[in-house]
Chain A
Amino acid sequence: MIVPGFLQAQSKKTFTVSGTIKDKTTGETLPAATVSFLELPGKGVSTNNYGFYSIAVPEGSYTMLTTYTGYRTDTLRIRLTKNMLNNISLSSGQSQLKEVVIGANSSKSKNILTLPPGVQRLNIKDINNVPVLLGERDVLKTIQLLPGIVSAGDGNAGFFVRGGGADQNLILLDEATVYNPSHVLGFFSVFNSDAIKDISIYKGGMPANYGGRLSSVEDIQMNDGNNQKFGASGGIGLIASRLTVDGPLFDGKGSFIVSARRSYADLFTGFASDTTTKHSKIYFYDINLKGNYQIDANNRIFLSGYFGKDVMSFRNSFGLDYGNSTGTLRWNHIFSSKLFSNTSLIYSNYTYDVNIDDNTDNIKVSSAITDYHFKQDFTYYLNATNKIGFGLESTYHITQPGTAIASASSSYNDVFLEKKYALESAVYLSDEWNASDKLKITYGIRLSDLSVLGPGNFYTYDKDGNKTDSTYYQSGKIVKSYITPEPRFAASYQLNPNSSVKLSYDRNAQNIHLLNNSAYLSTTNVYLPSSNNIKPEIADQVALGYYHTFQQAGFEFSSELYYKKLQNQIDYRNGADLVGNENIEGDLLYGSGRAYGWETYIKKKTGKFTGWLSYTLSKTELKIPGINNGDYYPATQDQTNHISLVGMYQATKKWTFSADFVYNTGDAVTWPSGKFSVDGAPVYYYGSRNSNRLPAYNRLDIGATLLAKKTAKYESSWNFSIYNVYGQSNPYNIVFQADPKNANKTQVLQTTLFKMVPSVTYNFKF
């Protein structure tokens, strides 16, 4: 009979080993490093996001092993007769052969057992050699090469996880929500890889401390900065340059990092002969800042911030600028060797402005979303087999769906759409239970609440979207409250030392909805909280996976099946106008969806040649009353087949070569099935929704890195890459239009953004 672990009587005397695991040279804490004991196979614990671990084991003598990808395994003999504090520093580099054997035997729990299905963790070092567009290393572009994660196309930072929408990904930077992760309308992501430590991706089996989005969590952590010595690193590329400075503060009790990046294509447009280009500019910048201070052995504070902005202007008459800013203040407190606490105060803002200043109009349109967020998380290391997580969080959202300020001479009136206020809160409790040497179960519940708050007018609509009633609520009054219980469950069972099966079920609720009925513009978005009309979106997902490690060959294999059911999905009425529309909720339609698929992944982790192959077979369908007679139809992102192949080859000490290949079925799209005339212009007739397909997408990128100089103090390298080597014309945009050369015909015109883009980047570090 299986009894939940924390109910089992404690028969043997146990003590707790706890501490923090850091990088020896930089002092950076290492999240997800594993601690295990040679004498206790199957028992182990991984460090949390702050490098803290705690594990209770019976009294005795042990060989404690600390492992972390890309670092030498640390072995330490300990005699445990009382609770013990062991802070470990690891040196980077390949493990010695002997250690690999030990490490391999003991770290079988690593990917095989510790991570629930659907979870992937990438160290920033893993992605540095993957070739990317214009040499800008990009963590969000790289994760789109993993199974189950597909790109929304060239020139679009959006991505779809297991059939979910682009707004259904929770992207966190040091716990702060980043609403729009794109620069230059989506060509690059906002994350400067120099400032990033690692990223955890949850496609399913989300731990109960995460919530708020249906499809995935991308938890990105910034570097803390070197607390041993000052350093600088940077790069000069074709599009942007980067500079990072970090170093110790307060005699090594703290550290800081400042990382900045700016693009400079605009610096050259002034020289252009074409007047349109000459008077246009387009650039972005971002700054990451972080500082931390170790007050004493049990208290540490962190302050981190991100500011990024994109500025575009067109012939001085039209401008668009947008950006995210976030700030996080965190306090780590170790109450005891068993109880770890983190308290966070988080600010997040996304704003966009459109300026029109031409002969006839002077108008500025703005929209924004601002979050004030409090979060308290506890980890209680109850005993050798149970780790309890619990906590609460609350976010006050203020969304500004749009204001327009026009000059007196303008054709337009000022528009002030009411701000929307909502309080999103959650409490959670979860237990990570090592039920036996072979079985690990994580289960928990998250209870989330969204309270729609006044002040404001709240409207009701009839089935055709016409306003029927309006009620005014005072400031602070609760208009509507939605409580959603979100159960989470994940189990891993180890079949033998090299293979395991995993099962997970999770429910997620989403209360912040992104409205965008445009095919690809990703900046002029409207964010709305749930309301009296918009109900929380809900997803239930079941996933089953099989994992196998080929220790000798250094291969890792996984295969997962998932099924996801979606409720309260949002679509738009024909002709819905999202700009400056106070009755926007009357233009929305609601329906359900389902997504299922099979993902296979094989990765080679060691040796001169590393890389992975991923394949996904999937289907994603929506069912919305009023569309396609209420039958299921393919969602836009329903890419049946998705293949990506990534290879990196360390040819010599100086040269590393890399390549990636991507193939996927084209998006489901709606194309005309006829035409008729309105006022002499051809207007198109459409059959059923999303019944056509874009041509299949495929692309090969290659890259090479030359380590130009490496001394103890200075390191420099050149990175060369070619994006889309064979010049495949992947469609960015397809328009159906009157043939400009023949008034009696219509034509289909395809625009391709990138056909073979070479680039070179110089990187340095000292």
Chain B
Amino acid sequence: MKIQTLIIALVASILFYSSCQKVITPPLSNSAPQLVIEGVVSDTTGPYHINISKSVNFYADNTYPNVSGASVTITDQTAGVIDMLTEASAGIYTTHSIVGTPGHTYQLQVVLNGKNYIAVSTMPLPVVLDSITFDYTSVKNMIQPVVHYQDPAAFVNYYKYNITVNGVKLNRFQSDEDRLMNGKYINEDLVTDTGAIKKNDLVLVNLDGIDKGAYNFLQEAENIAFYNDNLATPATPTANISGGCLGYFSAQTVSSKSKIVK
């Protein structure tokens, strides 16, 4: 539930007659490129990938320089399996043997220029996405997928949603926790940009079960990426990887459903 989003939509619509928007280019300070590690182990068939890149300045293109030459290891601490990843293409490191299993704890270790970056993530037990439907009415010109699933009451759960339209993944993610909805049957509208989903599109929704560490990062990242104007004191999302880098590592379960928009 994003109350803030709804309030902003309300205020904007009511006041629209006198308000106006324009793109501006204020001077922004530039920071030194930061190391970014992003990687996932899931309960779907491998291989899994770890992506290492660098941050860029705000006004630059969204092309992030890949970082090669890192030594990357993922250890299944529960099963005692160690997997040394291979750099399949520049900055993308691929697993060989490891198998994502719910309940197992995975450790990611990246060694780069003598520095050690370590993250640990435990894959939760799977939660099944029952179905998806579409909400055509909430916001004008916006078709929103609605997810339907049962949150298990016995566990604390964290989720991430992704939407793929006609085979193209939307550059938008959404995270959620069951703090206020533990044990409920969940029906939730997913946020999409106006016009991102149209009639006759094939929409695939992924429900990822993630752990607390990954959720904390993703929730901060989501606020920064999509709601930064509503934050009194925006700050860089805190990585769940130690050693001084950006990004996250998540061992997660995946359940997906697809449907054509009528």
A positions within 8 Å CB-CB of B: 155, 185, 265, 274-277, 280, 282, 312, 314-315, 317-318, 320, 354, 356, 358-361, 363, 365, 404, 410-413, 415, 516-521, 524, 571-572, 574-575, 579-580, 636, 670-687, 689-692, 695, 729, 732-738, 740, 743-755, 757
Contact = CB atoms under 8 A, between A and B. Distances in A.
B55 interface: yes
B246 interface: yes
Contact of A359 (B23, B26, B135, B180): B135
B38 A317 contact: no
Contacts of A753: 15, 18-19
Given A679-B38, A740-B193, 10 more contacts: A276-B139, A314-B13, A572-B232, A580-B179, A678-B38, A683-B237, A734-B229, A736-B228, A744-B61, A751-B12
A315 B9 CA distance: 11
Contact of B7 (A320, A676, A737, A744): A320
Given A312-B10, A360-B187, A695-B26, A521 B162 contact: no
B1 A361 contact: yes
Interface residues of B, number: 88
Contact of B23 (A277, A682, A747): A747
Given A314-B13, A738-B171, A411 B24 contact: no
A670 B234 contact: yes
A749 B23 contact: yes
Interface in B158-209: 162, 169-173, 179-189, 193
A315 B140 CA distance: 10
Interface stretch (B77-85, B95-103, B123-131, B215-223): B215-223
A761 B212 CA distance: 56
7 contacts: A413-B183, A519-B230, A574-B238, A671-B28, A684-B58, A684-B234, A692-B28
A18 to B, nearest CB: 51
A412 to B, nearest CB: 5
A687 B59 CA distance: 16
A271 B130 CA distance: 41
A683 B11 CA distance: 25
Contacts of A670: 233-235
Contact of A751 (B20, B34, B36, B238): B20
A280 B13 contact: yes
A744 B62 contact: yes
A411 B22 contact: no
Given A358-B138, A677-B64, A571 B233 contact: yes
Interface in B22-74: 22-26, 28-31, 33-34, 36, 38, 53-64
Contacts of A735: 228-229
Contacts of A682: 62, 171, 225
A760 to B, nearest CB: 16
B20 A755 contact: yes
A750 B22 contact: yes
A667 to B, nearest CB: 10
B53 A676 contact: yes
Contacts of B89: none
Contacts of A672: 28, 58, 228, 234
A677 B221 CA distance: 10
Contact of B19 (A579, A673, A751): A751
Nearest to B19: A753
A318 B137 CA distance: 13
Nearest to A752: B20
A575 B171 contact: no
Q: Which of B9, B59, B170, B233 has the most CB of A within 10 A?
A: B233
Given A692-B28, A748-B24, A359 B137 contact: yes
B251 to A, nearest CB: 16
Contacts of B146: 359-360
Given A674-B30, A751-B20, A280 B62 contact: no
B248 interface: yes
B224 interface: yes
B58 A356 contact: no
A352 to B, nearest CB: 11
Contact of B11 (A185, A315, A411, A737): A185
A199 B177 CA distance: 48
A23 B247 CA distance: 70
B62 A750 contact: no
Contact of A411 (B188, B225, B233, B235): B188
A689 B55 CA distance: 19
Contacts of A738: 62, 171
A254 to B, nearest CB: 42
Contacts of A276: 13, 139-140
Contact of A413 (B26, B137, B184, B225): B184
A519 B173 CA distance: 23
Contacts of A751: 12, 19-21
A305 B185 CA distance: 45
Nearest to B140: A276
A44 B12 CA distance: 54
Given A575-B223, A684-B234, A748-B24, A677 B4 contact: no
